[in-house]
Homo-oligomer: A and B are copies of this chain.
């Protein structure tokens, strides 16, 4: 019996690539906006890795995004007129078309919350922008660490006072699910084959026997309902 569903957000719920590229195109018309957005995102994991490894204390994702924006702007040889304004592009990411309706259906079945590496502030603003109907915000800020560290999944379950096997992690990324399953959570995979663009080569399909493999959030809500009887 699943009492809560917790979600990866960037890529799984929202299309960061075209949303960020759209804002880059407005502010920096001289660059390839898609390439800039992808390069910005490519700095994401290395920046968190230092914190996960303990080489740096916890810093919320907004601050990492801003540092990464500076690096990417240097590589592209551009000056960003208003760094904070462009950084806030990560608060204005469009949900994939199936997400809002799917989350509303899932919310009738269980608690729904993001378990993202985005901060409470970022996830709150993103939810208001896109209409994501979360019950609460969990994830990195709660644990003061970054996925896929086990603490992030466990702190999210603990914040709901639920045993991990009553909580299902939903993600479009197999690595996220391997990490969640390793600490006892249930798992659901939803593919997002264009997250990284038309040439995407990873996470095109489920790489393990996840508890649920769904086509989209509507299908996910049907399968969760079936699981709960």
Contacts and interface: CB of A to CB of B under 8 A. Distances in A.
Contacts of A195: none
A127 interface: yes
A137 interface: yes
B128 A111 contact: yes
B60 A120 contact: no
Interface residues of A, number: 23
A128 B60 CA distance: 28
A124 interface: yes
Interface in A133-168: 134-138, 141-142, 159-162
B120 A124 contact: no
A35 interface: no
Contact of A161 (B60, B113, B134, B160): B60
Contacts of A115: none
Q: How many chain copies?
A: 2
B119 A124 contact: no
B111 A160 contact: no
A214 interface: no
A62 interface: yes
A128 B121 contact: no
A33 interface: no
A57 B62 CA distance: 31
A123 interface: yes
Contacts of A141: 159
Contacts of A119: 159, 161
A120 to B, nearest CB: 4
Nearest to A60: B161
Given A141-B159, A161-B62, A128 B120 contact: no
Interface in A100-140: 111, 113, 119-121, 123-125, 127-128, 134-138
Given A121-B159, A121-B162, 19 more contacts: A60-B161, A62-B161, A111-B125, A111-B128, A113-B124, A119-B159, A120-B136, A120-B138, A120-B142, A120-B159, A121-B160, A121-B161, A124-B135, A124-B136, A127-B136, A128-B135, A136-B136, A136-B137, A141-B159
